[in-house]
Amino acid sequence: MCGMEIWINPACSKCRGALTLLDAEGAGYTVRRYLEDVPSQDEIRAVLGRLGLEPWDITRTQEAAAQELGLKDWPREESARDRWIAALAEHPKLIQRPIITADDGSAVVGRTEEAVREALSRSRQ
């Protein structure tokens, strides 16, 4: 079984582009439609660790839910980290996409062809 997983929103052109590239490269991966199969707070923490990012780094702040929550005014510091993670778990549309987890334990936000290729190279080592 392949350890590569991609979190997608099928309506997202960046997600569709990442899937097209993965398929063209013959990559094995699992698709997670994260709006339907919502990641838990622990899963979000794990992906953040793999990405080496903070929750505010993967938050889509222009979404309506972000504006309703007033996220742009939330502190971006360790003491607020759990609050951000809870918001992402409660409102998964706020999670930047696609997120690709590689076989080597790392992850990337695959919004560019270069990022998708990076995940591929990490999975083929």
pLDDT digits over 63-120, tens only? 999 999 999 999 999 999 999 999 999 999 999 999 999 989 999 999 999 999 999 9
Contact status, residue 92 vs residue 38, Cβ threshold 8 Å: yes
- 23-66 pLDDT, tens digit per residue, is 999 999 999 999 999 999 999 999 999 999 999 999 999 999 99
Residue 2 appears among annotated catalytic residues? no
How many angstroms separate the Cα of 80 from the Cα of each of 27, 31, 40?
37, 30, 18
Beta bridge partners of 101: 5, 107
Q: Which of 5, 12, 50, 106 is catalytic?
A: 12
Contact status, residue 85 vs residue 45, Cβ threshold 8 Å: yes
For the chain, the farthest-separated pair of C-alpha atoms sits apart, in whole angstroms, at 43
When pLDDT is cut at 50, 70 and 90, the band that residue 122 belongs to is confident
